[in-house]
Amino acid sequence: MSVTIKDIAKRLGVSATAVSKALNDRDDVSEELKRKVLKVAEELDYSANTIAKRLVTNKSNTIGVFMLSRRESEQRETVGFQFLSGILEEANKNGYDIVLFSTNSDLLDEKSYIKLCKERRVEGAIFTGLRLDDPHIPEIKKAKFPITIIDTELDDAENVGFITTDNLSGVHKALEYLWKLGHRRIAMINGHHQAQVSKRRYQAFKEFLTQKGVFDEDLVFYGDFTKNSGYKAALKILELNEPPTAVFSASDLMALGAIKAFKDKGLILPRDMSIIGYDNITSSEYTDPSLTTVAQDSVNMGREAVRLVLDGLDGGTMKKKVLEAKLVIRDSCARCC
Amino acid sequence: MSVTIKDIAKRLGVSATAVSKALNDRDDVSEELKRKVLKVAEELDYSANTIAKRLVTNKSNTIGVFMLSRRESEQRETVGFQFLSGILEEANKNGYDIVLFSTNSDLLDEKSYIKLCKERRVEGAIFTGLRLDDPHIPEIKKAKFPITIIDTELDDAENVGFITTDNLSGVHKALEYLWKLGHRRIAMINGHHQAQVSKRRYQAFKEFLTQKGVFDEDLVFYGDFTKNSGYKAALKILELNEPPTAVFSASDLMALGAIKAFKDKGLILPRDMSIIGYDNITSSEYTDPSLTTVAQDSVNMGREAVRLVLDGLDGGTMKKKVLEAKLVIRDSCARCC
DNA sequence: CTGTTAGCGCCTTCAC
DNA sequence: GTGAAGGCGCTAACAG
C-alpha cells in the first residue's frame, strides 16, 4: 500500500523505532541517521500517517467547530466567515486541525454535537450561532473537554467558556451617541429571544434609557435578525402615534431592512429618522445612507475562541472573555429635531 | 481510559469481535446480542473511536477544503461562506468530515497542500481561491486523489476536476442587457491575471463586443478584485477623452468601488453611467443604486464540488461541471444617451 | 545511540 | 452465531 516507516527502516537496515525517532527529530538519535532517514523518506515519497499517530498518542490535534443556525442568521455570512478565518488561523498556528460541522445536515439530526466530538476525539470545540433553546445545551454543559461558545454564556458548565464583545458598553456607546445628537425618543429593534445577545442588548438598552428617565417598553420591537423582520418592525414603528426620532437595531441586517422600510414609506434618511445597527457587516458600509453601527472584531473573536480552548487544554478552567465594542460612525444618524 | 468495545465485551461475557459486529449492525450476529450491546454501550457511555476505525479500515472519510487567498479576495466573505455551506451540507450528508485549511497560516507555509492532504489521508480535496501563479499547482496536478477546484480549470490533471458558472454566457448576458439599453461604448474592469475567471471573463467580453464591432482594448482596465482597485480603475475611466457610457466589472466588489468613485466625482447613477457587476455578493443589494450583477449559485457550487469528488472516489475520472449564470437586474443600469 | 517488545482500538479473516 | 489470532502504522518504554 503506501510507504510506512517500516519501508524506510528496511531500506536503511535499521529499526522502525529508530526511523520514528528520527522523523520526530528526537535527540536520542544521531544526526547522521536523521539525515539518512529524511533522505530516504523523500526518495520514497513518504507521508506520515496522522491517523496512526493520533491513535497511538491518543491525541487528535483537532478542534471541532460548529456553525449553527445557518438559515436564520443570514448576517453570519459576513460575521461567520470572519469568525472562521480567525479560528483557522489560530488553530493552524498551534498545530491543530479544524473539523467543521454545520446544522441542517443529517449528521447533526442523528447525533448530538457532543457525540460527534467524542467519536472524533476532538480535543476541544467551538460553537457559533447557538440558540438558548437548543436541546443539546444540557449535554454541552456536561462536556469533558474544553468548549468555547461565541456570544453565548452558559452557567454551571465547568468546561465551557465564552467569548463576546461587550454588549453593555457597545449598546451604551450607540445610545450615548444618539443622546448627544439630541434624540430622546429612541426605539429598539431587537433579535429573537433565543439569542443571548438579544437579552444582553435589551438589558443594556433598558438600563441606559431608564437612567436617563426616558425608557418606554412600547418602543421595543422584535425581529429575528433577518432583513425582512427588520423591515416589518420598522413599519410598526411608523404606525406609532408618536414615532421615535431614532432607532437602535440589535443587528445590521435588521437595520438594513428598517432602512428600506423607512425609505419605502417616503422618509428621508437620516433627516427623518436616525438609525444605528450592530455587527458592522460588510454591507453596512454600502447602504444609503451608510450605516452607523457597533462593530466587533470578529476575526479576533475567532482567534480568541481558539486560545480559550487551548488554555482549557492546558489545564485551566474555561475562561470568559469580553472584547471591546467600537462605534463606527457613518451617515445614518442626524441631529435631532 | 475511555470505554472501548472490550469493556462492553467483558461486561457481556462475549468477545470484542462480537461487539464490533453488533455495533456495525452486521448480519452475522444475533439480534439479541445487538440489543444487549447497544444497551450496554449506552450505559457505559461508549463512543466509537473514529481514529482507530479509520486506521484499521484505511479510510478517513474526510475531505480537505482549502480556502486560499483570503486576504486579497475580500468578496469571498460572502461567496466563500456560501461555498462552504454547500460543501458542508453535501459532505456531511454523505458521511464525510470536512477538514479546513487556510492560507496565511504557518502550516501552509511549511508544507504543501498535497502533503497536508496525504498526511491526514484525506480522500479528496476542494480548493477555492486558487491562483494561477500558485507554486503548488504542478503538485496538485499530480495528485493521486480526487480534487475539485472551484472556478479554476487545470489541464493535464487526471484527478482534478472543476466547477464554475458559465463565464461566457454570464458575461454575454450582462453585455446583451447593456447593449439593449443602447450602450455601445462599454468599459471593463477586470480582475488580476492570476485568477482564471479574469481571463475567461475578458475573453467573453472581447468576443461579444468584437462581434458587435465595437471592441476597444483601451476600455479594459485591471484591478485585483478589491473595492479599492475598482475605485482606482473608475477614476482612470473618467480620465478618458471619450469615457464609456457603461462599465462591466468582473466582480461586485470592484463595482462597488467604482460606484463610489463615480459618485465622488459627481456623477449621478445610473443616469451618467451604467454599471454591472459579477458575483451577486450580499452587499450588492444594498448599494445606491442597487447593483445589477451576474449571479452564481455559490451554495450549489459547493454541493457540486463535493459531488464531483465523491464521483471521483467511485472510480470515475474527474469531471468538469459548468453551472448556469443568471443576470440579476437591479437599478444600476439606465438606457443610454 | 539503537533495537526489542508491546500495544493504541478496532476490524478482518477464518476457524469452530 | 461467535471467537481467536493477527494486524493497520505508529510510538512508548525499556534494555542493550
The 10s digit of each residue's pLDDT in A260-281 is 999 999 999 999 999 999 999 9
Please, where in chain A does CATH 1.10.260.40 lie?
A: 5-57
B residues 145-184 near A, CB within 8 Å? Answer: none
Q: What is the pLDDT of residues A130-178, one digit of tens each?
A: 999 999 999 999 999 999 999 999 999 999 999 999 999 999 999 999 9
Q: What is the pLDDT of residues A279-318, one digit of tens each?
A: 999 889 989 899 999 999 999 999 999 999 999 998 878 8
Q: What is the pLDDT of residues A230-254, one digit of tens each?
A: 999 999 999 999 999 999 999 999 9
- Report CB contact under 8 Å: B283, A283: yes
Q: Could you say which nucleotides of strand C lie within 7 A of any protein CB atom?
A: 1-5, 7-13
- Report CB contact under 8 Å: A286, B282: no
> Any atom of strand C under 7 A from CB of A28?
yes
CB atoms within 10 A of CB A203: 13
Residues A277/A247, Cβ–Cβ less than 8 Å: no
> Any atom of strand D under 7 A from CB of A30?
no
Q: What is the pLDDT of residue B282?
A: 87
Domain boundaries B5-57, CATH class: mainly alpha
Contact of B82 with chain A, judged by CB distance below 8 Å, is answered with yes
Q: What is the pLDDT of residues B282-291, one digit of tens each?
A: 899 989 899 9
Mean pLDDT of A170-194: 97
Residue-wise DSSP of B153-221: --SS-TTEEEEEE-HHHHHHHHHHHHHHTT---EEEEE--TTSHHHHHHHHHHHHHHHHHT---GGGEE
Residue keyed to cell 451617515: A331
> Closest nucleotide to residue A6 (Cα to C1')?
D9
Is the confidence at residue A204, as pLDDT, over 60?
yes
Q: pLDDT of chain B along its 337 residues, tens only? A: 689 999 999 999 999 999 999 999 999 899 999 999 999 999 999 999 999 999 999 999 999 999 986 555 555 667 888 899 999 999 999 999 999 998 765 555 668 899 999 999 999 999 999 999 999 999 999 999 999 999 999 999 999 999 999 999 999 999 999 999 999 999 999 999 999 999 999 999 999 999 999 999 999 999 999 899 999 999 999 999 999 999 999 999 999 999 999 999 999 999 999 999 999 998 999 898 999 999 999 999 999 999 999 999 998 788 899 999 999 999 999 998 8
> Any atom of strand C under 7 A from CB of B107?
no
Q: With bands split at pLDDT 50, 70 and 90, how would you rate the model's confidence at A108?
A: low
Distance CA B31, CA A78 (A): 50
Contacts of A49 in chain B (CB under 8 A): 55, 119, 121
Stated in angstroms, how far is A9 CA from C16 C1'?
39
Q: What is the pLDDT of residue A81?
A: 85
Stated in angstroms, how far is A52 CA from D8 C1'?
8
Contact of A240 with chain B, judged by CB distance below 8 Å, is answered with no
At residue B96's C-alpha, the angle toward residues A48 and A6, to 5°, is: 20
Mean pLDDT of A182-204: 96
Percent of chain A whose pLDDT exceeds 70: 95
Is the confidence at residue A19, as pLDDT, over 60?
yes
> Any atom of strand D under 7 A from CB of B28?
yes
In the CATH scheme, what is the homologous superfamily, with its name and number, of domain A62-166+298-324? Answer: Response regulator (3.40.50.2300)
Distance CA A110, CA A127 (A): 18
Q: What is the pLDDT of residue B76?
A: 60
Q: In the A/B pair of chains, how many CB contacts fall below 8 A?
A: 137
Stated in angstroms, how far is A95 CA from C6 C1'?
29
**What's this model's pTM, rounded to 2 decimal places?**
0.94
In sequence order, the β-bridge partners of residue A150 are A163
Q: What is the pLDDT of residue B1?
A: 64
Could you say which DSSP state residue A132 is in?
Answer: T
Give the residue among B196, B143, B161 at the shortest CA–CA distance from B307: B161
- Residue A326 Cα distances to A173, A209, A279, A295, B266, angstroms: 8, 20, 10, 5, 31
Q: What is the pLDDT of residue A11?
A: 92
Residue-wise DSSP of A297-317: -HHHHHHHHHHHHHHHHTTPP
Please, where in chain A does CATH 3.40.50.2300 lie?
A: 62-166+298-324, 167-296
Could you say which DSSP state residue B143 is in?
Answer: -
Q: What is the pLDDT of residue B108?
A: 58
* B5-12 vs B31-44: helix crossing angle, rounded to 10: 120
In the CATH scheme, what is the homologous superfamily, with its name and number, of domain A167-296? Answer: Response regulator (3.40.50.2300)
Q: Is A13 left (phi over 0), alpha (psi -120 to 50) or beta?
A: left
Residue-wise DSSP of B73-117: -TTHHHHHHHHHHHHHHHHHHTT-EEEEEESSSHHHHHS-HHHHH
Q: How distant is the alpha carbon of residue B68 from its chain centre?
A: 10
Q: What is the pLDDT of residue B74?
A: 56
The C-alpha cell at B261 is 468613485
